[in-house]
Amino acid sequence: MTRRRITGFSNPSVKAIRALREKKHRRREGRFLAEGLRLLTDARENGRLPETLVLSDARDPHPLLAALEAAVTEAGGEVLETTPDILSKITGKANPQAVAGVFTEFDTSLERVDRSRAPIWLVAQALRDPGNLGTMLRTGDAVGAGGLILIDDCADPFGVETVRASMGAIFTQQLAQASWPEFLEWLRAGAGEQGGQLVAASLRDARPYRGAPYAAPCFVMVGNESQGLPDAYEAACDLRVTMPMKGRADSLNAAVAAAVLAYEVLATLDA
């Protein structure tokens, strides 16, 4: 296997990869960055290989790392080897993982979503926190969701923080992006047997989340961190449910609300 060795911070490849930490460069290049052997192995096992694999020369040998490198090479990808310092600069982490990869962004058009493929889908409306998005992807994987649908102006799902917080679920969960009218039209156009039940975690006109009549495919939607869901969006839902709030706060963290609700849906559908 041939590896290209890079030792200079000002190397054009280093600069180009590092630039993927910024959204405008990701948009322009259609590429994103993921780090860590575990994430990259999840990617490989889901049929996603990086175009460029970057290895630290301080790495320990590992059979999964060898398998990854072989797969990337066989697919015609590029393998770079560099110092921990440069990897640290690329990923923005003081203690970088031993490996990182540059991936082509996925097609996130809603039309590619086959709702019958899974009983649960998560929906995030105008979620601004990349960590919340990544956590929702991770939760989606855990509850057997098909994927995450991003409505309106959400954080970039291909950002480094989102990918990191997803713990690999960025490669196992399907991602779609749509405006609210697009999503609603798509959801209702699939009516009948396909259908789809839209459920909002809500505070208004809502029934208790436990024992609610969830039905597959169930779309579990949470709204923006500070504003919640717009009234009109809640009104369009098939079901509005609420979690107990015993204290002073009137809401949960968005990713937490999605998880508590999704696990309840899972228990209902599995029962």
Nearest distance from residue 219's CB to its own copies, in Å?
Answer: 17
Q: Calculate the CA 116 to chain-centre distance.
A: 20
**Total residues belonging to the chain:** 271
Instruction: Report the residue number, 69 or 129, with the smaller CB distance to its own copies.
Output: 129
For 123, 183, 250, the CA distances from 126, given in Å and listed in that order, are: 10, 13, 19
Nearest distance from residue 175's CB to its own copies, in Å?
Answer: 15
Asked if 110 contacts 84 with a C-beta cutoff of 8 angstroms, the reply is no
Instruction: Report the residue number, 98 or 255, with the smaller CB distance to its own copies.
Output: 255
Instruction: Report the residue number, 6 or 39, with the smaller CB distance to its own copies.
Output: 39
Coil, strand or helix at 55: strand
Instruction: Report the residue number, 236 or 260, with the smaller CB distance to its own copies.
Output: 260
141 binds its own copies (CB under 8 A): yes
Nearest distance from residue 78's CB to its own copies, in Å?
Answer: 26
Helical segments of 160-214, H only: 160-166, 180-189
Asked if 204 contacts 234 with a C-beta cutoff of 8 angstroms, the reply is yes
Binding segment (CB under 8 A) for its own copies, from list 4-12, 83-91, 134-142, 213-221: 134-142
Nearest distance from residue 253's CB to its own copies, in Å?
Answer: 5
Asked if 171 contacts 203 with a C-beta cutoff of 8 angstroms, the reply is no
116 binds its own copies (CB under 8 A): no
* Cα gap 131→71, rounded to integer Å: 30
The residue from 49, 102, 154, 169 that contacts its own copies (CB under 8 A) is: 169
Give the contacts of 35 (CB within 8 A, at least 6 positions apart): 91, 93, 96, 97, 99, 100, 101, 160, 163, 164
Per-residue interface string for the shown chain with its own copies, residues 174-213, x marking contact by CB under 8 A: ------------------------------------x---
Instruction: Report the residue number, 82 or 132, with the smaller CB distance to its own copies.
Output: 132
* Cα gap 218→49, rounded to integer Å: 31
Per-residue interface string for the shown chain with its own copies, residues 52-91, x marking contact by CB under 8 A: ----------------------------------------
Radius of gyration of the chain (CA): 20
Residues between 144 and 163 with contacts to its own copies, criterion CB under 8 A: 144
The residue from 94, 191, 232, 249 that contacts its own copies (CB under 8 A) is: 249
165 binds its own copies (CB under 8 A): yes
The residue from 206, 216, 260, 269 that contacts its own copies (CB under 8 A) is: 260
Residue bearing tokens 């000002």:
10
* Nearest of 166, 124, 151, 86 to residue 258 by alpha carbon: 124
Instruction: Report the residue number, 232 or 249, with the smaller CB distance to its own copies.
Output: 249
* Cα gap 227→177, rounded to integer Å: 20
* Cα gap 256→129, rounded to integer Å: 13
Residues engaged in binding its own copies (CB under 8 A): 42, 45, 131, 135, 138-144, 165, 167-169, 172, 210, 243-249, 251-253, 255-256, 259-260, 263, 266-267, 270
